[in-house]
Amino acid sequence: MKIAIVIPDDFSIVWFSETLVKKLLKDNEVTAICDIHNGYESEYYLKIMKEWGVGHEYVKFYRFMNPLKDLLYIKNLYKILKKRKFDKVINIATKPNLFGSIAARLAGVKNITTCVWGLGLSFSDSRTIKAFILRLVATQLYKHSFRQSNKVWFTNKNDLEYFTSRAMIDESKTYLTRNYVNTKQFSPDCVSTVNSLKLKIDLGFLPKDKVVICLARMSWAKGIKEFCEASDILKDENIKFLLVGPVDEGSSDSVPISYLEKYNSNNNFKWIGFRKDVKELYSISCLAVYPSFYREGGYPRGLTEPMSMEKPVITTDSKHCSAAVDHEISGLLVPIRNSIALADAIKRIVDDEELATSFGIQSRKKAQRELDEEVIIEGLVNSIF
């Protein structure tokens, strides 16, 4: 079977879809229709993808709504799908979900799977006219996409309930799982003590420093302001704050670089932008924080990866994040947009090594028990074939 995966870029294939792709490759020809992360000058992920045996068809991707660019995106997808005559299309992420099914049906593809891993800013609680229009347009596009799809995979039960309660999707088409993490790759001993210590020193930390990490895109809705303000509140404590993630270019919710640079000048704070060495960065931390109020997919990777590495975690009581953490067992939940509560929770865990160790052990157990990638993807593949 010839399968096309419509996805934003090669980074998304390598970082989010490895197990799915490798299972599909066993009996099928798989091609990714996507952009290249950071452009052709950086083909790091493209090379990995091709080494796995995944083919590539290039299409320019633009994250945000733009009628002209969206029509061009549909046209380019259609031309590729029509020419290559794929048997099945799998759409992953918001834009592919909204437009990939349209292009696939126009191209005559009869087997379409849509993967909803969160609804993002399109379904934020903002009450501005712009947000209302965006939500209205996205809702209608999702409704059409679901109608064209044979199977729709959700990782957030709240998103599934949102659409089924509005009769926007045939429930018999749906497949619900938790999100997932590769518990073998993200294990407590996946980074050697020597390499971990070297990285810690290279980043300017002392071996004894207690590092709290937050890995996210630089969007206000990810709780960046709260993480930064928590560092202000705890500036006199022996705690270092490490913020990792790219600027959210083009987004109305993007955190200005000037804001991040202001905090970067503080002794207890470091923002290092996008990094490939995620496991190594988690290894130097004593705690992972993800204070998001974004419309996540239910189990954000900023939580599941450190959990799998036996780290205690803190997130918000947002229903789009909170299921990942068992409060007072594997970590702590704090109110959204509450920097003081976040700071208090951070200090509590950092100051209590016994509690931190207990939370970390339970985090790992939860990841293995409920979020194991191999088990979840095996079930998904069986459901869509």
Q: In this predicted model, what pLDDT tens digit does every residue of 286-341 receive, in sequence order?
A: 999 999 999 999 999 999 999 999 999 999 999 999 999 999 999 999 999 999 99
The residues, ordered by sequence, that sit 6+ positions from 174 with a Cβ below 8 Å of its Cβ are 151, 152, 153, 154, 160, 164
Shared domain for 132 and 253, answered yes or no, is no
Q: Is residue 314 part of a domain?
A: yes
Shared domain for 115 and 235, answered yes or no, is no
- What average pLDDT does range 271-285 have in this prediction? 97
Q: In this predicted model, what pLDDT tens digit does every residue of 176-202 receive, in sequence order?
A: 999 999 999 999 999 999 999 999 999
Residue recorded with tokens 């990841």: 367
The total domain count for the chain is: 2
Report the candidate in 319, 116, 344 with the shortest Cα–Cα distance to residue 226. 344
Predicted pLDDT of residue 41? 59
- What average pLDDT does range 216-226 have in this prediction? 97
Q: Is residue 202 part of a domain?
A: yes
Q: Is 237 helix (H, G, I), strand (E, B) or coil?
A: coil
Q: Is residue 378 part of a domain?
A: no
The whole-model pTM stands at: 0.93
Question: Counting Cβ atoms within 10 Å, is residue 85 exposed (0-12), middle (13-18) or buried (19+)?
Answer: exposed
153's enclosing H/E stretch is strand 151-154
Domain C-terminal end among 114, 149, 176: 176
Instruction: Kindly list the strands in the beta sheet with 151-154, ordered across the sheet, starting from the edge strand earlier in the chain.
Output: 55-58, 29-35, 2-9, 88-92, 111-116, 151-154, 174-176
Which amino acid is it at 108?
G
- What average pLDDT does range 91-118 have in this prediction? 95
Shared domain for 198 and 166, answered yes or no, is no
Alpha carbons 234 and 230: distance in angstroms, whole number: 6
Q: Is residue 172 part of a domain?
A: yes
Q: Which residues are paired to 316 by β-bridges?
A: 334
- Residue 267: pLDDT above 70? yes
- Residue 252: pLDDT above 90? no
Question: What residues make up the domain containing 42?
Answer: 2-176
Q: Read off the tokens for 3.
A: 């399968």
Shared domain for 169 and 236, answered yes or no, is no
Shared domain for 171 and 38, answered yes or no, is yes
Domain C-terminal end among 176, 211, 240: 176
Shared domain for 136 and 199, answered yes or no, is no
Q: Is residue 288 part of a domain?
A: yes
Shared domain for 327 and 262, answered yes or no, is yes
Q: Is residue 220 part of a domain?
A: yes
Shared domain for 57 and 109, answered yes or no, is yes
Q: In this predicted model, what pLDDT tens digit does every residue of 10-41 receive, in sequence order?
A: 999 999 999 999 999 999 999 999 999 876 55
Full 3-state SS string of 58-81: ECCCCCCCCHHHHHHHHHHHHHHH
Q: How far is CA 311 from CA 100, 181, 374, in A?
A: 37, 14, 21
Shared domain for 131 and 208, answered yes or no, is no
CB 145 within 8 A of CB 98: yes
CB 251 within 8 A of CB 121: yes
The mean pLDDT of the chain is: 95
Which amino acid is it at 270?
K
Q: Is 253 helix (H, G, I), strand (E, B) or coil?
A: coil
Shared domain for 158 and 202, answered yes or no, is no
Shared domain for 287 and 227, answered yes or no, is yes
The residues, ordered by sequence, that sit 6+ positions from 232 with a Cβ below 8 Å of its Cβ are 266, 339
Least confident of 83-87, 101-105, 123-127, 296-300: 123-127
Q: In this predicted model, what pLDDT tens digit does every residue of 125-179 receive, in sequence order?
A: 777 887 788 888 889 999 999 999 999 999 999 999 999 999 999 999 999 999 9
Shared domain for 220 and 327, answered yes or no, is yes
Predicted pLDDT of residue 40? 56
Q: Is residue 184 part of a domain?
A: no
Alpha carbons 247 and 86: distance in angstroms, whole number: 35
Q: Is residue 295 part of a domain?
A: yes
- Residue 121: pLDDT above 80? no
Q: Which residues are paired to 35 by β-bridges?
A: 9
Q: In this predicted model, what pLDDT tens digit does every residue of 225-246 receive, in sequence order?
A: 999 999 999 999 999 999 999 9
Predicted pLDDT of residue 128? 81
Q: What is the CATH number of the domain that holds 22?
A: 3.40.50.2000
Q: How far is CA 9 from CA 44, 223, 236, 251, 253, in A?
A: 12, 25, 42, 18, 21
Q: Is 52 helix (H, G, I), strand (E, B) or coil?
A: helix
